[in-house]
Amino acid sequence: MKVLSKGCVYGLRALLYIVSEKPREEYVNIREISEELDISFHFLTKTFQSLTQKGILRSYRGPNGGVTLDRPPEEVSLAEIILTLEGEDFFDKCLLGLAGCGQAAPCPAHEFWIAHKAELRAEFERTSLADMGRKINKEKLRLGP
């Protein structure tokens, strides 16, 4: 049950690194993060662009530039990060992948699947970056899959 794409996981790990290792408001060099977490620099760069556009990160170009959280980590939910990196329709998919599935023509799994997705979304909404940062296991952040 692979739920998140690699890009999304990279983004999450990187955000957790920033939250747990760096002072708030300090611009962190992307190259440093990529080396520290063993993630391709250019790939991470792309992921960060989406997070910057969404207002989760703030960026600064030029020497000593980098990225930093644009808001306190308490105000960034896991849901927002995932929706940004996986697409806003993340929670809208039918379990059986049927395009026409919906209130009007529900698939046999529609009812319970919709309830289940709502629960999951709520859980993701109430989990903030700060919450996750607190639970972090620093050694593990850098270990890939």
Binding site for DNA (CB under 7 A): 2, 5-7, 10, 29-31, 39-43, 45-46, 48-49, 52-53, 59-67
Query: What is d(CA 90, CA 92) in angstroms, rounded to the nearest whole number?
Result: 6
Q: Cβ closer to DNA: 31 or 126?
A: 31
Q: Cβ closer to a copy of itself: 29 or 37?
A: 37
Span interacting with a copy of itself, options 22-30, 41-49, 52-60, 126-134, rule CB under 8 A: 126-134
Query: What is d(CA 130, CA 134) in angstroms, rounded to the nearest whole number?
Result: 6
Are 127 and 11 contacting, i.e. CB atoms less than 8 angstroms apart? Answer: no
Query: What is d(CA 19, CA 75) in angstroms, rounded to the nearest whole number?
Result: 12
Amino acid identity at 134: R
Among 2, 23, 61, 88, binds a copy of itself (CB under 8 A): 2
Are 25 and 68 contacting, i.e. CB atoms less than 8 angstroms apart? Answer: yes
Residues found near a copy of itself in the complex (CB under 8 A): 1-4, 6, 9, 12-13, 16, 78, 86, 90-91, 93, 95-101, 105-112, 116-117, 119-120, 123, 127, 131-137, 139-140, 143-145
